[in-house]
Amino acid sequence: MANGSSSSSSSLSSRRSLLKLLLPSSLVFIFGIISALTYQSILKPPPAKLYSSPITAPRIKLRDGRYLAYKEHGLPREKANHKIIFIHGSDCCRHDNVYSTLLSPDLVEELGVYMVSFDRPGYCESDPDPNRTPKSLVLDIEELADQLSLGSRFYVIGYSMGGQATWGCLKYIPHRLAGVTLVSPVVNYWWKNLPLNVSSEGFYMQPRRDQWWVRVAHYAPWLVYWWNTQKLFPGSSVANRDHGILSKPDKDVIMKLGSSRKPHVAEIRQQGIHETVNRDAIVGFGSWEFDPLELENPFLKKEGYVHLWQGDEDMLVPVTMQRYIASKLPWVQYHEVSGSGHFLHYGKGMVDDIVKTLLTTDAN
């Protein structure tokens, strides 16, 4: 009896330990399979699509074999005194260079302006760069300048999400810059020298859907693709091209623009949403290896200047954060435009003002 009970209890305990061994590992296994399938089917972004329209832009081949499409504006390179590279914002492309289309022809002649805009990786006719970092885009820009022989120094204008790459230029290639203009540059709430009260005030000024979007981009980039393709709740307003969150002056601009962007809008995301708008957010709101608030003036001999333009009715980039950044970087010339929003360059004479300010407050 003692034997029997001991043998049955030992077989019970061995069955238990077998269960203990099996249960967690089989659960882990099943869970693993389910999550792998889920990841494959709904979370994992498909590879960027091939170009749906034929390539029409001139392109340069970059260090890693990717092609970068560009568009030249203004005077021919060899006749120009000032060469400017323009970096476009999210959900735009090389055609959205208002700094050339709205620049008065007189000013182009008078100041001798050449400009080049390019499709950021994944947009329109540039190849995607799934390994993009805040630094890699800067290297793309430097290669563009060198392959087009823009000389040892050039100007950079960066708008909105392109403004982040412009901070990158100040960090990684300051010796190549003749002058820099940031217009409504996007702020990364996770730059480490932003005081918590300043970044949270800015963060909570965004609509709820964009607070979530920016959080997902920062904390769970693997969820970003699903976030912007699901229909259960609203994804990012930029991804959904929702103008509802814009301020009155910005809505007026959109009304006025009407369908003027239509010819190229379809091309912007022809390679898919992931290597365009999504990648912008993953890189833009990710953890950076530098903080613009730590940057030093690259122009100690006043051989150039850095300008930052910001509208005080910008609902996409909070003016309060921009004011803080400007206050910490006294070498940045801060220009706040009252009654303007994120699209401040569409204001009458603004483009002329912005370009003239960049090109005439220097040593040339």
Ligand X SMILES: *[C@@H]1O[C@H](CO)[C@@H](O)[C@H](O)[C@H]1NC(C)=O
- Largest separation between any pair of C-alpha atoms in the chain: 109
Considering the complex, state which of residue 146 and residue 201 has its C-beta at the smaller distance from ligand X: 201
Give the tokens for residue 98: 């208002």
Rounded to a whole number of angstroms, the minimum distance from the CB of residue 197 to ligand X is 4
Does 353 engage in binding with ligand X (CB under 6 A)? no
CA 228 to CA 273: how far, in whole Å? 8
Does 330 engage in binding with ligand X (CB under 6 A)? no
Region from 26-34, 136-144, 170-178, 191-199 binding ligand X, contact rule CB under 6 A: 191-199
How far from 98 is each of 16, 115, 164, 257, 341, CA to CA, in Å?
72, 11, 18, 12, 16
Q: Please report, as a single letter, which amino acid is at residue 254.
A: I
Pairing outcome for strands 67-74 and 113-118: antiparallel
Considering the complex, state which of residue 111 and residue 198 has its C-beta at the smaller distance from ligand X: 198
Region from 10-18, 190-198, 250-258, 308-316 binding ligand X, contact rule CB under 6 A: 190-198
Region from 26-34, 129-137, 195-203, 351-359 binding ligand X, contact rule CB under 6 A: 195-203
Considering the complex, state which of residue 147 and residue 320 has its C-beta at the smaller distance from ligand X: 320
- Which residues touch 338 (CB under 8 Å, ≥6 apart)? 311, 312
Rounded to a whole number of angstroms, the minimum distance from the CB of residue 167 to ligand X is 21
Residues 280-319 that bind ligand X (CB under 6 A): none
Does 80 engage in binding with ligand X (CB under 6 A)? no
Instruction: Identify the CA nearest to 269 among candidates 253, 255, 280, 257.
Output: 280
Does 197 engage in binding with ligand X (CB under 6 A)? yes
Residues 90-109 that bind ligand X (CB under 6 A): none
Rounded to a whole number of angstroms, the minimum distance from the CB of residue 310 to ligand X is 16
Determine the residue with CB nearest ligand X.
197
**H helices then E strands: how many in the chain?**
13, 8
Q: Which of 4, 46, 54, 195 binds ligand X (CB under 6 A)?
A: 195
Please answer whether residues 347 and 312 qualify as being in contact, where contact means their C-beta atoms are separated by less than 8 angstroms: no
Considering the complex, state which of residue 303 and residue 313 has its C-beta at the smaller distance from ligand X: 313
Does 4 engage in binding with ligand X (CB under 6 A)? no
Number of residues that bind ligand X (CB under 6 A): 5
Q: Which of 138, 198, 306, 355 binds ligand X (CB under 6 A)?
A: 198
Considering the complex, state which of residue 148 and residue 198 has its C-beta at the smaller distance from ligand X: 198
What is the number of other CB atoms lying within 10 angstroms of the CB of residue 300?
8
- Eight-class DSSP state of 128: P
What is the number of other CB atoms lying within 10 angstroms of the CB of residue 363?
11
Considering the complex, state which of residue 48 and residue 321 has its C-beta at the smaller distance from ligand X: 321
CA 332 to CA 297: how far, in whole Å? 8
How far from 189 is each of 169, 253, 306, CA to CA, in Å?
19, 27, 22
Region from 41-49, 132-140, 197-205, 342-350 binding ligand X, contact rule CB under 6 A: 197-205
Rounded to a whole number of angstroms, the minimum distance from the CB of residue 198 to ligand X is 5
Q: Which of 201, 242, 291, 303 binds ligand X (CB under 6 A)?
A: 201
Rounded to a whole number of angstroms, the minimum distance from the CB of residue 196 to ligand X is 8
Considering the complex, state which of residue 172 and residue 191 has its C-beta at the smaller distance from ligand X: 191
How far from 345 is each of 17, 111, 311, CA to CA, in Å?
71, 19, 9
CA 224 to CA 43: how far, in whole Å? 8
Residues near ligand X (CB under 6 A) are: 195, 197-198, 201, 320
